[in-house]
């Protein structure tokens, strides 16, 4: 591939000590091209290339997970704003009941990593969008201001959300205490658990990629994992054995928490996602 001739190839060779043989595109994130690169000793690495930059935050998040949690994530070989060279975890399989149970064990262990306050010590990203993370003592206030209203305002400013729907979001935000309770403690979450970010190898999980981390109520993570059908019964049965779910999650709080990723998708894509936001809001107002 033409981009491998020149600076990028030299940087890969300089970091790995191996020559580049070929590369294969992989499904990627919103701000970067992603490739599996085959080296001349038959080993592979994964690279993310963003010619306009923007990868430093992802590198920080991967480094934090590697250093502060048991979650399996790619190792950072090179971490620069326009280029990440990562260890290749493999994967590429489909989720099965067995691999869902394995995923539940990984995610339950991740959620045991705690902090004194909700948020994070720096802003992070979800896809290409900034996630503000000022630290709060109160989860409901954090979710209201830094997730629900923050993303609704962005969607409104970009013309992706009608004034009527925005006011519905505000109406729900004003009465969140009717639906949400404070979790026992802030938990570290991956933050973007859709299927493409879960690498599967047979009946186990090879790793997790493209995080959007912060300290949260872990229920927002569990909710997101159902929005696009990532995990199902096998995952939740095993997770509940390790970390029992609080009553009312599926019945009341799951769809409310999924307003946040729906608003993220509304900002990025509008259309049907804005309609999904409105339908969800109608069940709470």
CA distances for 101 relative to 135, 203, 205, 206, angstroms: 32, 9, 9, 13
Q: So what's the pLDDT on residue 5?
A: 56
pLDDT at 4 over 60: no
Same domain? For 159 and 233 the reply is: yes
> Domain for residue 92, yes or no?
no
144 and 73 in a common domain = no
7 falls in which pLDDT band (50, 70, 90)? Answer: confident
The answer to whether residue 162 sits within a structural domain is yes
Domain boundary pick from 87, 109, 124: 87
Read off the pLDDT band of 51 (50, 70, 90): confident
Measured CA to CA, the distance from residue 207 to residue 72 in angstroms comes to 5
For the chain, give the number of residues. 285
User: Is residue 15 located within the same domain as residue 133?
Assistant: no
* pLDDT at res. 29: 62
Share of the chain above pLDDT 90, in %: 89
123-126, long-range: CB < 8 A, 24+ apart: 123/57, 124/57, 124/60, 124/61, 124/191, 124/211, 124/212, 124/213, 124/214, 125/57, 125/58, 125/61, 125/212, 126/191, 126/192, 126/212, 126/261, 126/264
**208 lies in the same domain as 256:** yes
Segment 248-268, tens digit of pLDDT: 999 999 999 999 999 999 999
User: How many structural domains comprise the chain?
Assistant: 2
Structure confidence at residue 74 (pLDDT): 97
Q: What's the CATH code of the domain at 10?
A: 3.30.200.20
Query: 138 lies in which domain range?
Result: 97-282
CA distance 24 to 26: 7
pLDDT 10s digits, 19-40? 999 999 988 666 788 999 999 9
Look at residue 241 and tell me if it is in a domain.
Answer: yes
Residues 192, 210, 217, 255: which is the catalytic one?
192
Output phi, psi for 138, to 5 deg: -115, 125
Q: Is residue 245 part of a domain?
A: yes
Tell me the average pLDDT across 156-164.
Answer: 97
Same domain, 246 and 156: yes
Within 8 A by CB and 6+ apart from 45, the residues are 12, 16, 36, 37, 39, 77, 85, 86, 87, 88
Whether residue 150 is found in the same domain as residue 217: yes
The structure tokens 């509940």 sit at: 240
In a domain, 269, yes or no: yes
Residue 71, in any domain of the structure: yes
Q: Is 192 a catalytic residue?
A: yes
pLDDT at 241: 98
């Amino acid at each position: 591939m033409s981009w491998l001739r020149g600076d990028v190839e030299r940087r890969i060779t300089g970091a790995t000590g191996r020559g580049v043989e070929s590369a294969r595109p992989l499904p990627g994130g919103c701000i970067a091209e992603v490739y599996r690169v085959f080296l001349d000793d038959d080993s592979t690495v994964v690279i993310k290339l963003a010619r306009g930059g923007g990868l430093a935050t992802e590198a920080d998040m991967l480094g934090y997970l590697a250093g502060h949690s048991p979650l399996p994530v790619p190792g950072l070989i090179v971490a620069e704003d326009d280029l990440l060279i990562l260890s290749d975890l493999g994967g590429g399989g489909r989720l099965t009941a067995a691999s869902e149970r394995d995923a539940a064990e990984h995610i339950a262990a991740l959620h045991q990593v705690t902090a004194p306050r909700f948020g994070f010590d720096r802003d992070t990203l979800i896809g290409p969008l900034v996630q503000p993370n000022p630290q709060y003592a109160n989860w409901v206030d954090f979710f209201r201001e830094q997730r629900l209203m923050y993303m609704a305002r962005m969607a409104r400013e970009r013309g992706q959300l009608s004034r009527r729907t925005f006011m519905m979001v505000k109406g729900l935000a004003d009465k969140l205490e009717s639906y949400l309770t404070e979790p026992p403690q802030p938990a570290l979450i991956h933050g973007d658990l859709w299927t493409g970010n879960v690498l599967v190898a047979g009946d186990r999980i090879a790793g997790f990629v493209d995080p959007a981390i912060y300290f949260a109520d872990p229920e927002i993570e569990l909710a997101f994992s159902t929005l696009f059908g990532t995990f199902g019964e096998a995952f939740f049965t095993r997770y509940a054995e390790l970390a029992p779910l609080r009553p009312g999650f599926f019945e009341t709080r799951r769809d409310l928490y999924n307003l946040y990723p729906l608003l993220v998708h509304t900002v990025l894509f509008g259309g049907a996602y804005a309609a999904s936001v409105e339908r969800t809001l109608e069940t709470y107002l």
